[in-house]
Amino acid sequence: VVRVHEVTREELLARRETILARLGTSEAELRDRSRRGSLVGDEDALLDELRDIAYLLGE
């Protein structure tokens, strides 16, 4: 089963905000803690989602 859809920049920015609000942190801090190997719970999986968003946004 496959779903293909075009996303908008606004949609991605809102999704990023939701993830970061849920984690209560910034993406920079999350990446920094990833480098130090100190992510917990589902933070590492959510960081991958943030990487997907950043990639689509061309950042």
Partner 1 sequence: VTSAAPSLEDQARQFANELAELLEAVLPDAPPVVAELLADRVVVAPADAVPLSVQGERLASLEVHIRCRLDSRGTWLAIDQSAYKLRLDADSTPLLRLEYVRDAHTAPSAHIQVHAQRGALSHLLSRSGHPAPHDMSKLHLPVGGARFRPCLEDLLQLLIVECRVDALEGWMEAVVAGRARWRATQARAVTRDFPREAADVLRQMGYEVISPGNEADGAGRATDNW
Residues binding partner 1 (CB under 8 A): 1-9, 12, 37, 39-45, 48, 51-52, 55-58
- Residue from 56, 49, 50 nearest 26 by CA: 50
- Residue from 5, 8, 17 nearest 56 by CA: 8
16: Cβ contacts below 8 Å, ≥ 6 apart: 27, 50, 53
Report the nearest approach of partner 1 to the CB of residue 21 (Å): 20
Report the nearest approach of partner 1 to the CB of residue 17 (Å): 17
Report the nearest approach of partner 1 to the CB of residue 59 (Å): 11
Please identify, using beta-carbon distances, which residue of 20 and 54 lies nearer to partner 1.
54
